[in-house]
Amino acid sequence: MQHCMPEQLALAALREPLPAEDAAHLDSCGACAAEVASLQRAVDAVAVPLLAAPGAPVEPPAHVWDAIAAATGVPAAATGVPAAADPPAGAEIVPFRARRRPLLLVAASVLVGAVVGAGAVAVLRDSDDGVDAVQTVALDPLDENDASGRAEVVVRDDGSRALEVQLTAPALDDGYYEVWLIEPSITDMVPLGIARSGTQTFELPADLDLGEFPVVDVSVEPLDGDPLHSGVSVARGQLES
Amino acid sequence: MLTRSRPRLGSVGVVDPGPARNGAPGPRDDEIAQRFAAGDESALALAYQRWAGQVHGMAVRAFGPGPDAEDVTQQTFVSAWTGRAGYRPDKGPLPAWLVGVCRHKISDTWARRDKQRREAEAAASQLQAGPSPVTAGVDTAVADRMLVLDELDLLGQPQRGIIELAFFEDLTHAQIAARTGIPLGTVKSHIRRTLERLRSRLEVDGAALHA
């Protein structure tokens, strides 16, 4: 008797019913049955309810997006809003980070006027290494902190911008430093990333208006998985627009 | 022969987006996909708004509502974004690709749980009876699952769309032909070749894993 066509054996591996003649042959032919079994290993590995195509959608809780935004550095624009509006590319910063500790942040804003400014110096320099430093600002310690440093906005030849932060700060036993750009009222802010004592470079979102977020802020963040600003700032400087 | 522009090869389009999706027209799906691939940050937010429900629905079905499902959804979008260089808009719709990423995350989470369970069982049986036949190794099915998902990522279209409809939507080859407009004979031969390819991958890498 003739063996089944390879195509039929593949369908059998997917557990499709075969035409009667093929089914009968398969029942009695060890070689064809072995072929089906060997093809079926892949089918059995993934053709399981666990991985089945999406069924009923379930909206995830809001903190899932917050965590994604924090992990990717993408501004948490327009979350929780029905998908009606197309947020203007890269320009929308919602104040979700500030909601949690408004009092601390507002209190801190008083300090900005008092402390920042004196150290701010604008420096222009010619490009000799493919980047232009368009502005340099001193990061002055807040309160009685030991952290200080310098932040420099650089523009590369391709037009992309970055913030180079040189930080001098004591090592933390339990937590880390994070760099933010904050608007003058200390309500909305953009997280740039994690910093340590030394020099590091943070990419600036292409459409970010530094005039809108001129305050360079260094915070101490506990290792608690909370992407929000801790409210504990140790150094600041203000870019001039 | 089919071209990749056939509708619904991705498997996600099957889901009714539901009434919550708004009446106002946002950017089209393919426009979001292009912007996502190009690294436009607003496209990540748009993709999340539009498809997080489907991804999270899968995660919840796999693990129930709670932290595991939320981790899967979070990891899916984070790794889709950081790995966006691996997404090609001309190879299929973004939601289908996101679902593929989600399958990897579900599989990873499942493997981790499985390993923890085995280790716990091994520890328990050691306490009871000294040496035991229970091993804390990776289960063959778990390893196979990862290898097959990995190989699916390497398939071109329409092969990938066809086998995904068979695997994940449980369609027969006739239903797949009707759904995609690909001739019946072509569907059958793609299925055969893809299953053979997956078998080779399992025999080579699966054997290496368990040697």
Residue B204 DSSP one-character state = I
Taking residue A241's Cβ as centre, other Cβ atoms within 10 Å add up to 9
Percent of chain A with pLDDT over 90: 33
The per-residue pLDDT for B71 is 95
**pLDDT at A47 > cutoff 50:** yes
The per-residue pLDDT for B122 is 79
The per-residue pLDDT for B128 is 62
Dmax of chain A from CA atoms?
A: 95
Give the domain ranges of chain B: 27-135, 138-211
Nearest to A239 by CA among A218, A211, A220: A211
**Mind spelling out the 3-state secondary structure of B20-55?**
HHCCCCCCCHHHHHHHHHCCCHHHHHHHHHHHHHHH
With a CB-CB cutoff of 8 Å, which residues 101-160 of chain B face chain A? 103, 106-107, 110, 141, 144-145, 147-149, 152
- Return the CATH fold of B27-135: Rna Polymerase Sigma Factor; Chain: A (1.10.1740)
The per-residue pLDDT for B119 is 83
Q: Write out chain B residues lying below 8 Å of A53, CB-based.
A: 11-12, 14, 99, 164, 168-169
**pLDDT at A96 > cutoff 60:** no
> With contact defined as beta carbons under 8 Å apart, do B153 and B170 qualify?
no
Instruction: Note if the pTM is more than 0.90.
Output: no
Chain A nearest-CA distance from B177, in A, is 14
Structure tokens at A6: 């390879």
CATH of domain B138-211: 1.10.10.10
Using the beta-carbon criterion (under 8 Å), do B168 and A86 form an inter-chain contact?
no
Q: If residue B96 lies in a helix (H) or strand (E), which one and from where to where? A: helix B94-129
Report which of residues A81 and B143 the model is more confident about: B143
**pLDDT at B10 > cutoff 70:** no
CATH of A96-238, one of 3.40.50, 2.60.40, 1.10.238, 1.10.575: 2.60.40
The per-residue pLDDT for B104 is 95
Report which of residues A232 and A177 the model is more confident about: A177
> Which parts of chain A are beta strand (E)?
120-121, 131-141, 148-156, 161-168, 176-182, 189-195, 198-203, 215-221, 233-238
Q: Write out chain B residues lying below 8 Å of A87, CB-based.
A: 42, 45-46
- Looking up tokens 């290993």, which residue turns up? A41
Give the domain ranges of chain A: 6-51, 96-238
CA-based torsion, B66, B68, B69, B72: positive or negative: positive
The per-residue pLDDT for B120 is 82
Residue B202 DSSP one-character state = I
User: Is residue B48 very low, low, confident or very high in pLDDT (cuts 50, 70, 90)?
Assistant: very high
Report which of residues B194 and B119 the model is more confident about: B194
- Name, of A183-197, A211-225, B150-164, the range with top average pLDDT: B150-164
pLDDT digits (tens, 9 = 90+) for B131-146: 444 444 457 888 899 9
Rounded to whole angstroms, the Cα distance separating A169 from B163 reads: 56
Dihedral, CA of residue A239, residue A104, residue A180 and residue A170, to nearest 10? 100
Percent of chain A with pLDDT over 70: 75
The per-residue pLDDT for B172 is 93
